[in-house]
């Protein structure tokens, strides 16, 4: 991956603007573009309308509302990397490509700038 390329990130998180706003600001400050969804319906709608996003970032709290969300996202877009933001480092799931600590924004930036992201298509 070209480290200087601006990525488009679909960020899905329940409506708690302070958390989403902080993560969005971190990603945008790193010169990437963000599409935001405050709930599952709008997140899946955005994914359908904008299938060329580079990656999908899902906060673990959304999984309380819909435990099979990650499997649904993976079915809709099998080639896109899915990043799970969670306060629990041990929160590993088979549908997730990367896990970042939701309270450590530098982990997200490190992942974006590492060149390790395997970007694919839907």
Q: What are phi and psi of 72, to 5 degrees?
A: -65, -45
Find where tokens 């993976």 sit: 74
Gap between the Cα atoms of 56 and 9, Å rounded = 6
pTM score of the predicted model = 0.85
Query: Tell me, what's the pLDDT at 20?
Result: 63
Average pLDDT over residues 97-122: 83
| 11 DSSP β-pair partners | 36, 57
Gap between the Cα atoms of 11 and 1, Å rounded = 20
Domains of the chain: 8-112 (3.40.50.2300)
Sign of CA dihedral 93, 107, 40, 18: positive
Average pLDDT over residues 55-65: 85
* Residue 1 scores a pLDDT above 60: no
């Amino acid at each position: 991956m070209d480290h200087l390329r601006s990525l488009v990130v679909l960020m899905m998180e329940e409506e708690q603007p302070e958390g989403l706003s902080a993560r969005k600001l971190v990603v945008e400050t790193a010169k990437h573009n963000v599409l935001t969804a405050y709930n599952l319906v709008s997140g899946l709608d955005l994914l359908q309308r904008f299938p060329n996003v580079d990656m999908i970032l899902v906060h673990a709290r959304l999984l309380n509302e819909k435990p099979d969300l990650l499997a649904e996202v993976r079915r809709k877009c099998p080639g896109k990397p899915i990043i799970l933001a969670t306060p629990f480092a041990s929160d590993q799931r088979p549908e997730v490509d990367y896990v970042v600590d939701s309270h450590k924004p530098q982990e997200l930036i490190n992942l974006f700038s590492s060149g390790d992201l395997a970007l694919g298509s839907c």
